[in-house]
Structure formats: structure tokens, C-alpha cells
Amino acid sequence: MTIKREDRCGQPLYNFQDTPAPEFPGLFDKVSPYGSATVNGVGHDLDLLALSLPESEDSIIAILSSCGWRFDDAEDIYMQNHHGIHMRTARLGQYNLVILNCPVAYNMYMKANRTAELLDLQSKMDRITLFDSIMLSYPAELQDYLRNPTKYLEGGA
């Protein structure tokens, strides 16, 4: 049951305790809550970070689209592609699904999110700066993944 919460301007706020994340059985390798609702306890939406295999992207898009998810290509908001990591975004109601196909990037995003939680970074720009800093701090591993992704998929990152 969702408890209605609002910010000072009357905009709805959500959290993962009152509004559990949807399940995606067999669709992704990993799915985790992340973003403002995990760092601040509430957010204007509920972000989910998902890891998929690159070759399954088309079928995932088709399945999610048939279930009402809208792919908005808002990935430019998250990164200006200076990391070289492919990502797709989709929305359904209060949920924002960010799909990565790079296990290295997925792990780095989860580390950045955990660091933002520990530092209690309330500002979205501070969190974005932290995420970019962590992504840019591993250029060799990211470049290795981009050259040889099967190494990470077979042996685990």
C-alpha cells in the first residue's frame, strides 16, 4: 500500500518501503533500487538500475513496451556519453528504469550509490558529480570491458 507523501510544492514523493519495486523475473541479470529514494529515503520517482546482456536489449525493449513501459531516451540526462557506456531508460508511473549492458558500469554505479548513501548527499548535482567521478576513476577497466566484454560476462566482473 502506497502512503501519499508530498514535497513542499505538493509534488508526490515515493520510497521503496511503501512502494515496492516491480519484479522482472528472468528479464535482467540484476536489478537494484538506486538514486534519490535510496540516498534520501524519498524521491520524486523510484529509480531502478538493471543489468542486461547486450544481445537481449531488443527483446527486453519489446517485452517492457508491451507492459506499458515508455522508453524516453533520457540517458543524456544521466551522462553525456563521455564514459562510452550504453544505457537505456524507461518509465512506468513513478518508476524510472535505467538499463545498462556493462557489468563493470553496473557495479560502479552501485558503488557510487552506496557512497552517496554513506555521505548522505542530498543534492542531485552532488550525486551526479560523485557518479561521474567514480565512473572516470576506472577508465582502464571500462576500456578493457569495451574491447573484450565476453571476458566479464564469462568470468564475472
First vs last C-alpha separation in the chain: 37
CA gap 112, 128 in Å, rounded = 9
pLDDT digits (tens, 9 = 90+) for 17-57: 888 889 999 899 999 999 999 999 999 999 999 999 877 88
Backbone angles phi, psi at 96, to 5 degrees: -120, 115
Q: What confidence score (pLDDT) does residue 51 get?
A: 94
Q: Is 84 left (phi over 0), alpha (psi -120 to 50) or beta?
A: left
Average pLDDT over residues 92-113: 90
C-alpha angle 95-149-115 in degrees, rounded to nearest 5: 50
CA gap 101, 119 in Å, rounded = 27
8-12, long-range: CB within 8 Å, 24+ apart, which pairs? Answer: 11/44, 12/44, 12/94
